[in-house]
Every structure is written in structure tokens, then in C-alpha cells.
Amino acid sequence: MKSHTVYLTFHTQKRKEIVPITDRVEQIIAESGVQEGFALVSAMHITASVIVNDEEPGLWQDIMEWAEKVAPENPNYKHHRTGEDNGDAHLKNLLMHHQVIVPITKGEIDFGPWQRIFYVEFDGQRDKRMLVKVIGE
């Protein structure tokens, strides 16, 4: 069994942003040499997420608007008593989760026709890390 780990750093231009990362994850899988296994793609911050969905900008806008309705920016979050201002970002992370696991078959991500991987930032404009761990044979 092989294991291959890569850390990526993101520094988004906007505080909230969706970043396509499928191509980079595919490159990491190819570098790993794993033909059959899994790739774990995990945001290493509790104010960001990793999701699998369609690469369509209208949908991205819908996703961000939905997350804002469910966990809106609000100065009254109790978390803000600590001096932070990102309580909504923590809640949005709970909605979309911090990681995904994707299957690898014959050295490639085994996706349906529209599935792609995205890093979703809710408290950006600073360095954030993400882990890609490929495991298999």
C-alpha cells in the first residue's frame, strides 16, 4: 500500500470564494503512482470546506447565497466575543464539511460526468492550507 501527501496553500482574493481544484488533485494522484485507492482532500481550517459538485458559475452563486441564508453574517454571534468576526464562516463549514474522499480507479478519479472538486473559502484573503492524501496500490 502506498501513501502520498501534498499540502496546498490558498490565498483567495475575496473573503468568500469557490476555487476549482480538480486538476490539481488529478496531478497529485498521477504523481502518487496509485492506480486503485482513494484520495482524501481536506481543508485544514474550520472556516473553509471541500465539496464535490458541478463546475457551473450560476450554481456556485446559488451555493454561496444558500449558505449565506442558512448562516448569515451577523455581528451578534457569541463567537465574536473572542474578538473574531467570522462566526458565520464556522457555521458554513458545518454545512459543507471540511473534506471529501474520492475514489481512484486505473490511476484516475472515478467521477460521474459532472462531478468536480472545489475548495470553498468563507474567511479568506489570508494563507490557508489544504491536505491531499492519496492511499492505495
Cα 4-98-111 angle, rounded to 5 deg: 65
Residue 64 sits in a domain whose CATH number is 2.60.120.460
User: What's the total number of domains in the chain?
Assistant: 1
3-state secondary structure at position 80: helix
How far, in Å, are 67, 69, 74, 103, 109 from residue 91 at the CA level? Answer: 9, 11, 11, 28, 29
Beta carbons within 10 angstroms of residue 78's beta carbon: 7
Half-sphere exposure at residue 16, Cβ-oriented, CA atoms within 13 angstroms: 17
Q: What is the C-alpha separation between 88 and 69, in angstroms, rounded?
A: 10
How far, in whole angstroms, is CA 37 from its chain's centroid? 20
How far, in Å, are 42, 76, 81, 121 from residue 117 at the CA level? Answer: 11, 33, 34, 13
Q: Which domain holds residue 52?
A: 2-74+83-136
Structure letter (DSSP) for residue 77: -
**pTM of the predicted protein model:** 0.96
> pLDDT by residue for the chain (137 residues), tens digit each?
999 999 999 999 999 999 999 999 999 999 999 999 999 999 999 999 999 999 999 999 999 999 999 999 999 999 999 999 999 999 999 999 999 999 999 999 999 999 999 999 999 999 999 999 999 99
Element spanning 17, H or E: strand 17-20
